[in-house]
């Protein structure tokens, strides 16, 4: 039958597609390895160091497996009685995976490379941008527009060409997580989104890997070691994701939200490196069953005891149901109601007749069309940059300041009457990216300002499509 022929053909095509995708993945993995090898060679050529000896575990004439180069390089660590030769030797044999080469991952990677972790993996799919550099200190201006993983690996190799740095230029997803994580002893979660936290924790439970989890938001930070030595996993503590809110902070559950608005995330990133080093070198007491809370403003660090492994936990409890197959099919984005990729949210709340593009708005200005432009961003945003003649009424105070809007309309109307007699005065609303402006327009319509329209894509689209000199932030 014709329809069966169609099914056969499509399943054949699907199989071919899958096989091509598999080949593509293998080729990409090989490319990553070769690129990493090249970087290492280049870093060696740049450094004045003698080519270092390999990190093989052979016991040398010194009675341990450290080479003369290693003894000199790591001497300040070796002299610490609690760390010593054994700690360093353990570290050199260990492998640590850092997921995320951003604000937390940057200092973590630098320290891990410097102190001699044998094999260091970096996972990230993002590219370096100028506004990353104030906090993602592993990247430099030369790498803007290039892969964060490539940039981080190069920086690590420049510091220490005797270790192995493995590049994973991809987002960690359920499809690749088990394979990538299985190659390492210890995992550092340095991501900035909720689905990744659960995904990484579940993956570590399935593979029996200790997880050093860090979070930083605003001026606060959190740190804990999960799934270590019978201790709890992330799900034991937070079986259900915190509700997503505009401020991304859920004080009820005590879990620190995730976001990019961090200042000095490196404090937590350094502590993550330290915890990973303790785990790898078998030195000290890891932060398992406890959580470190950091408050930058008060310069206060507190350690709180957290509950132990939950017998009810779906990932690691007594009747845990999580299997590798389920993991690979689990939808972490819908579970947490937030996206895996940190790309900004793009809402569409309005119909096209309540919207105007930034180019159309520019045409309207050129023709001198009378209107009122309301900028609904918070005032500290408005102070960074704003469009001429806009008035700043933050979204939260729109209702309470409706009389102000009426009087602005009246003024625009009167001046227009003097000019050409038309009484058609529009209200336009702008924000940073075009989400809050839509919420504001919905509210304005309810308040009776039915002609209100939003500028699609906000000031970012103005900068992109109308005036390239207008700064974005």
Burial of residue 42 (CB within 10 Å: 0-12, 13-18, 19+) is middle
CB of 216 vs Zn ion, minimal distance in Å = 23
Q: Two tokens at 421? A: 């007699």
Interatomic CA distance for residues 437 and 173, integer angstroms: 33
**Which range in 118-126, 152-160, 311-319, 422-430 contacts Zn ion by CB under 5 A?**
311-319
Q: Two tokens at 299? A: 């310069």
The three-state DSSP-derived secondary structure of 343-410 is CCCCCCCCCHHHEECHHHHHHHHHCCCCEEEEECCCHHHHCCCCCCCEEECCHHHCCCCHHHHHHHHH
Residue nearest to Zn ion (CB): 313
If one asks whether residue 204 binds Zn ion (CB under 5 A), the answer comes out as no
Binding mask 230-249 for Zn ion (x = CB under 5 A): ---x-xx-------------
Instruction: Determine if residue 316 is labeled as part of a ligand binding site.
Output: yes
Instruction: Determine if residue 236 is labeled as part of a ligand binding site.
Output: yes
Instruction: Determine if residue 124 is labeled as part of a ligand binding site.
Output: yes
For the chain, the helix, strand and coil percentages under 3-state DSSP, each to the nearest 5: 40, 15, 40
* Cβ distance to Zn ion smaller for residue 135 or 235: 235
**Which range in 28-36, 213-221, 229-237, 389-397 contacts Zn ion by CB under 5 A?**
229-237
Name the phi and psi angles at 287, rounded to 5.
-80, 55
Instruction: Determine if residue 131 is labeled as part of a ligand binding site.
Output: yes
**Which range in 128-136, 152-160, 308-316, 329-337 contacts Zn ion by CB under 5 A?**
308-316
Burial 360-369 (b: 16+ CB within 10 A, else e): ebeebeeeee
Among positions 277, 313, 340, 455, the unique one binding Zn ion when judged by CB under 5 A: 313
Instruction: Determine if residue 134 is labeled as part of a ligand binding site.
Output: yes
If one asks whether residue 255 binds Zn ion (CB under 5 A), the answer comes out as no
* Cβ distance to Zn ion smaller for residue 236 or 431: 236
Asked if residues 186 and 112 have their Cβ atoms less than 8 Å apart, the reply is no
**CA 381 from centre of chain:** 22
* Cβ distance to Zn ion smaller for residue 86 or 326: 326
If one asks whether residue 315 binds Zn ion (CB under 5 A), the answer comes out as yes
* Cβ distance to Zn ion smaller for residue 120 or 236: 236
Instruction: Determine if residue 350 is labeled as part of a ligand binding site.
Output: no
Catalytic residue status for 431: yes
* Cβ distance to Zn ion smaller for residue 109 or 236: 236
Among positions 316, 372, 427, 440, the unique one binding Zn ion when judged by CB under 5 A: 316
Catalytic residue status for 250: yes
33-72 binders of Zn ion (CB under 5 A): none
- State the angle between helix axes of 266-281 and 84-92 in degrees (0 to 180), rounded to the nearest 10: 100
Interatomic CA distance for residues 145 and 134, integer angstroms: 16
Return residues touching Zn ion (CB under 5 A): 233, 235-236, 313, 315-316
Q: Which residues have a catalytic role annotated?
A: 250, 431
């Amino acid at each position: 039958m014709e329809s069966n022929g169609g099914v056969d053909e499509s399943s054949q095509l699907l199989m071919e597609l899958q096989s091509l995708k598999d080949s593509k993945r293998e080729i990409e993995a090989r490319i990553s390895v070769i690129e990493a090898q090249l970087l290492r060679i280049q870093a060696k050529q740049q450094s004045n160091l003698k080519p270092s000896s390999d990190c093989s575990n052979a016991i040398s004439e010194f009675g341990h497996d450290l080479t003369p180069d290693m003894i000199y390089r790591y001497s300040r660590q070796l002299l610490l009685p609690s760390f010593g030769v054994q700690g360093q030797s353990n570290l050199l044999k260990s492998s640590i995976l850092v997921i995320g080469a951003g604000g937390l991952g940057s200092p973590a990677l630098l320290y891990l490379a410097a102190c001699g972790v044998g094999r260091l993996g970096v996972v990230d799919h993002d590219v370096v941008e100028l506004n990353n550099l104030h906090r993602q200190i592993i990247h430099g201006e030369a790498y803007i527009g290039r892969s964060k993983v490539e940039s981080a690996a190069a920086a690590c190799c420049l510091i220490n060409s005797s270790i192995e740095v493995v590049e994973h230029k991809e987002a960690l997803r359920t499809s690749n997580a088990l394979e990538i994580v299985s190659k390492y002893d210890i995992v550092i979660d340095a991501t900035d989104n909720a689905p990744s936290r659960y995904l990484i924790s579940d993956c570590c439970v399935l593979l029996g890997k200790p997880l050093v989890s860090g979070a930083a938001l605003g001026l606060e930070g959190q740190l804990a070691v999960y799934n270590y030595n019978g201790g709890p996993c992330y799900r034991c503590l937070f079986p259900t994701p915190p509700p997503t809110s505009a401020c991304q902070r859920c004080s009820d559950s005590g879990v620190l939200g995730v976001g990019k608005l961090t200042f000095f995330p490196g404090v937590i990133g350094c502590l993550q490196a330290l915890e990973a080093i303790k785990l790898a070198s078998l030195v000290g007491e890891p932060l398992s069953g406890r959580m470190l809370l950091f408050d930058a403003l008060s310069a206060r660090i507190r350690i709180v005891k957290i509950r132990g492994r939950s017998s009810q936990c779906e990932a690691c409890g007594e009747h845990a149901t999580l299997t590798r197959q389920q993991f690979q099919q689990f939808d972490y984005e819908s579970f947490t109601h937030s996206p895996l990729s940190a790309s900004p949210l793009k809402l569409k709340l309005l119909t096209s007749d309540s919207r105007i593009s930034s180019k159309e708005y520019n045409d309207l200005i050129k023709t001198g069309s009378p209107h009122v432009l309301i900028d609904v961003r918070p005032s500290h945003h408005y102070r960074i940059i704003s469009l001429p003649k806009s008035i700043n009424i933050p979204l939260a105070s729109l209702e309470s300041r409706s009389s102000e809007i009426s009087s602005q309309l009246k003024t625009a109307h009167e001046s227009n009457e003097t000019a050409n007699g038309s009484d058609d005065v529009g209200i336009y609303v702008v924000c940073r990216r075009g989400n809050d402006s839509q919420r504001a327009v919905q509210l304005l319509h309810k308040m009776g300002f039915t002609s209100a329209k939003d500028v699609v894509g906000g000031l970012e689209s103005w900068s992109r499509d109308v005036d390239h000199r207008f700064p974005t932030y």
